Chains A and B, each alone.
Chain A
């Protein structure tokens, strides 16, 4: 219980008036950058970084990490209200959050998202507190083969059998992999698929792709369907906020499962984005109401949000203990750590006890501050849904254009974003699933690198994926996840050969 004593000492550092004030400021700034797409937590934190140079390291990290919490929460807001994910990790939240908000329940959707996110973060912090040293050892066991196995598992859990026709899923995946391959290849160092456009050497930024695919794509579909000028009649109801949070314990299985997935992916470090996708995919497979996922299911919001925050929180642990950042924001913070004169790595926990435990204690307090603040803003954000479509639509276009441009001040990105908008529209019209496409864009190149690094190590033998218990378990679990639904479906087909037509139409609807 050494850790517990250290933690109490940490609380005496974190709970002081200046530090609490810093948390409030950080969380509010974070919500702001999270809500504005294209800005996002990594950019927000790097903008704030220079202001922290004169501060005590522990105060500086409290400010930055509070901003991180705020941005993680804020990132869900636009996903749910406008189908524009402000953060890569909140893409999966759009799948059910947006349909629910459009259905006239934005308050419920937001409150559910925030409540489950806070739960995920809490589990993540508890893990950091009590398992810090063990977790550091686990992360070290991950070589290229193990990394590939984790990514494979993420793909398998999501892809297997979704709502869409399997062949369409494969097509979407393939397009995603091709997009992920654009730019310089890490393993061979050569330029790929730039098609003569010099600037494409940087690759396709994820934010650009997602804002087009989701924001603009959805808008085009809505315009075509005229949207019936349906200004959602969302009553601003404070009680609904608490009711939605109060209903969460009923979904305790989904909460715990998602938190476990999130922590695991945060540490390994597959990162929050892979975690949220994986958690959503697994929830759809195992939830009793799985077939309704994509139409505004509560568990469809709980699963990605819980996993996202659990992973986002536990991703700070590999950063502190090993010096490998588990997320883009953690990478920026690590740069900060070095500037403040601290060296992330195994010695940080020994040399800088005040800093480490002050930070961990501030995670508890900062998350409580963050969840209170965001829950207070729910009615305000929900009211945005009352604005008529004719006003919101141009606003969405502006947000997407500004967001895409600000990624790296490049006009090409804006053009690509609009191009992705058309792709998104076509995907929706032709019932192709967007999720596998996005997943392949985000972790496709990482999976490829890991696979080829493994091949270099083993001199081309696939045996490396069965070389030890850890990697074998991961690969077998992945293969099982791919095959399981096939087997189940075969069994079901054997029992009742004719499937009712109503089921197929329900399936068409939930293609995501």
Chain B
């Protein structure tokens, strides 16, 4: 692999050599590594590759970019790698809220404070999904049925975003759910299609194919307002036709998962500023809009104090849920 990637790198270097970089105080002098904290094909991997494509297409930097996957330990592998690369501005880590969530509930050898936050690029929405032929038409029906018997709720990973949301639903709906963790959202979707689960809370892109294929349907979206108008997914419905959960009496107004970008710790402010600027430029392209729409995410851009505030608020909320569930690690 060593030889092949060196070859690819030098080939890429030849392609981009000679283009003028945008003016900034710090400029990269060697190839940049994008570290996706998810396996190939996962949401985090997709965003890293989308950003890489856009940067390469518009020649936003004159250095080549390679994407590597460090998905081990639910992404902890990538963050630990980032922590170990302190001071190295050529490693850009792509993750989720996992960066601050995972250290809270399991003894992983990193915390988000070991990394330099760059930006939150997009927000992935969550929806409540049931099997196509289940009798529930609204979240209210679902809650009513779930109150009488224990429902099985599937999700990706344990004590992660999906389980946190599940516990929030339990609290808001005064019900009890059995949470079954699987490796990924895609796997969970198939389990629901097979009737082994009663529901799950996948992101739109994780269950898009299943909705179109008529194996499962969303009841409501955990968002303050309905999702933006887009192309129809099934013959009659699109994302904007899905009611919000609050409309249907499930009082969780907002729950989203940000896609986050980090540098290792101990980099200079100049170096961090370069990447903030780079991500801003990426976000201004039509290709980015296209990616956001195709993956049914919400376009946001949080950086600096705003991003910090977002993390702090999310952490407060998580700590509350985690301590109620007895998840906190000492």
Q: A: which residues have CB within 8 A of B? A: 36, 38-39, 42-43, 46-47, 49-50, 53, 139-144, 183-191, 198-199, 201-203, 322-325, 331-332, 334-335, 338-339, 341, 343-348, 402, 405-406, 408-409, 449, 453, 456-457, 459
Contact = CB atoms under 8 A, between A and B. Distances in A.
A335 B8 contact: no
Contact of B40 (A190, A201, A335): A335
Interface string B109-128: 11000000000000000000
Contacts of B178: 456-457, 459
B284 interface: no
B80 interface: yes
A345 B209 contact: yes
Interface stretch (B21-29, B70-78, B256-264): B70-78
A485 B314 CA distance: 58
A139 B193 CA distance: 10
B108 A38 contact: no
B209 A344 contact: yes
A347 B77 contact: no
Given A186-B157, A189-B160, A190-B106, A402 B2 contact: yes
A339 B72 contact: no
Nearest to B183: A186
Given A323-B209, A453-B182, A457-B178, 8 more contacts: A47-B8, A189-B158, A191-B106, A201-B73, A335-B42, A345-B212, A406-B1, A408-B70
Interface of B: 1-2, 4-5, 8, 39-42, 45-46, 49, 53, 68-70, 72-74, 76-77, 80, 83-84, 105-110, 152, 157-160, 163, 178-183, 186-187, 189-191, 193-196, 205, 208-210, 212-215, 294
B8 to A, nearest CB: 7
Given A188-B158, A189-B106, A189-B160, A323 B180 contact: no
Given A43-B1, A335-B40, A199 B105 contact: no
B80 A142 contact: no
A189 B105 contact: yes
A39 B72 contact: no
Contact of A201 (B72, B159, B193, B213): B72
B45 A335 contact: yes
B157 A140 contact: no
Contacts of A143: 191, 194, 196
Nearest to A324: B190
B9 to A, nearest CB: 12
Nearest to B110: A198
A344 B69 CA distance: 22
A432 B294 CA distance: 53
A381 to B, nearest CB: 20
Contact of A140 (B182, B183, B193): B193
A154 B132 CA distance: 33
A43 B40 CA distance: 10
B207 to A, nearest CB: 9
B109 to A, nearest CB: 4
B55 to A, nearest CB: 13
Top 3 nearest A-B pairs by Cβ distance? A202-B72, A345-B209, A335-B41
A322 B193 contact: yes
Contacts of B106: 184, 189-191
Contacts of B194: 139-143
B180 A144 contact: yes
A198 B83 CA distance: 10
Nearest to B42: A335
Contact of A322 (B68, B181, B190): B190
B72 A183 contact: yes
Given A344-B209, A345-B209, A332 B40 contact: yes
A406 B6 CA distance: 12
A111 to B, nearest CB: 29
B183 A449 contact: yes
Contact of B186 (A185, A191, A324, A346): A324
26 contacts: A39-B1, A46-B40, A49-B40, A139-B190, A144-B196, A184-B73, A186-B157, A188-B158, A189-B159, A189-B163, A189-B181, A201-B76, A202-B76, A202-B80, A323-B186, A331-B41, A332-B41, A335-B41, A335-B45, A343-B209, A345-B209, A347-B212, A347-B213, A402-B2, A406-B2, A456-B178
A455 to B, nearest CB: 10
A331 B46 CA distance: 13
Given A190-B107, A202-B77, A343-B208, A47 B4 contact: yes
Contacts of A338: 41, 46, 205
Contacts of B183: 186, 449
A74 to B, nearest CB: 15
B190 A189 contact: no
Contact of A323 (B8, B42, B76, B190): B190
Nearest to B105: A189
B190 A191 contact: no
B39 A343 contact: no
Looking at A47, A141, A408, the one whose CB has the most chain B CB atoms below 10 A away is A408
B180 A339 contact: no
A328 B4 CA distance: 21
Looking at A140, A144, A323, A334, the one whose CB has the most chain B CB atoms below 10 A away is A323
B212 A203 contact: no
A331 B49 CA distance: 16
Nearest to A189: B158
Given A39-B1, A144-B196, A323 B41 contact: no
Contacts of B76: 184, 191, 201-202
A186 B107 CA distance: 14
Given A53-B53, A184-B76, A341 B214 contact: no
B108 A453 contact: no
Contacts of A189: 74, 105-106, 157-160, 163, 181
Contacts of B4: 39, 47
A346 B210 contact: yes
Contacts of B84: 198-199
A453 B180 contact: yes
Nearest to B154: A453
B100 to A, nearest CB: 15
Contacts of B72: 183-184, 201-203, 408
B66 to A, nearest CB: 10
B181 A140 contact: no
A402 B2 CA distance: 8
Nearest to A407: B1
A49 to B, nearest CB: 8
Contacts of B110: 198
Contacts of B45: 335
B80 A201 contact: yes
